[in-house]
Structure 1
Amino acid sequence: MTNTLQLKGTSILVADASKHIQNVVKGILRQFGCADPVAVSDGSAALSAYRERLFDAVICESLLPELSGFDFVRAVRRLDDPVTAFNPIILLTSHTQKENIFTARDAGTTAVLAKPISPKLLFERLMWVSNDGRSFVRTPNYIGPDRRFHDVPVPAEQERRSDWLRAVEDKERTTAANHGD
């Protein structure tokens, strides 16, 4: 696996209700070579934009207004066009309780990234999804990347244990320590 990421020529949709987060994510993507990331502020606008334009990937907030990020992912995964239905979707969230991570996974999210984000964390997640070798599963109850991580080789720089769960546990410990729980 290479440690370079070049997004020149890629089209990425950013969906977040916060203009500040939109600008941060778009700025990071531009640093990686994505010339013109498209940003929207709610889930309905994200789904409309996704249907109208061919995007290579999506970075969206889990709690979007009008249509949640979870519901957006489910809707994208159910599109008839397999080229667009199977594109990588990174879900951003400040709510990293295990239930939310599992909901994201079960919706068909490719990866989850806990807020606050940094260029390094977004780089790592983009590298991971670009090298993700999982096949897509289509069943009556689930459409998305195969959820069985143990069948997939782990990227060289990562441990076998899921980054998602480590982020959840770290955030829970930090929150408990800050609140004296």
Structure 2
Amino acid sequence: MLKTFAYIAAALVVVVAGILIYAATRPDTFRVQRSASIKAPPEKIFPLINDLRSWSAWSPYEKKDPAMKRTFGGPASGKGAVYEWDGDKNVGKGRMEITEVTPPNKVLIKLDFIKPFEGHHTAEFTMEPKSDNTVVTWAMYGSHPYFAKVMGVVMGLFINMDDMIGNDFAAGLASLKAVAEK
């Protein structure tokens, strides 16, 4: 009986060590991005991104919890504009602040998640004219700390940020396209 317990304990130690070692091999940073071609000039699309209040018309996260609490601060749009949210388990709690703007081609956002997990990342929107279309790219990137890597391995064996938010970005860009092409 004691021998069986020792084998089980040793096997458990090997499994845990394997998870920890595997997690250490995962990348220290991540980048998720999606792009869409929109039949509108950048000047028409840019305000829909640069004014955080306009996000309610196209952001997929607005639809996940329509009852979430929203707070806006700073200027109405552009650098310094702030959007804070507090919602259910589908959206959590966090804060966005526009940190850099290059009209009508780029918006950079400091993105701070508070719940359900703390995270500090950057969201970037670029708009590149192509003929009578604009290619809009929505990206999010940041560090991937060791704890997050371990949780990713444990919670779903190979769950990554792309799996978690890539479809949301694609849905958001599809909604942005519908709004901008009206």
Would the TM-score normalized by the shorter structure come out above 0.5?
A: no
TM-score under structure 1 length normalisation: 0.29
TM-score (norm 2): 0.29
More strand by share: 2
Structure scoring higher RCO (CA < 8 A, sep ≥ 6) equals 2
Larger Rg: 2
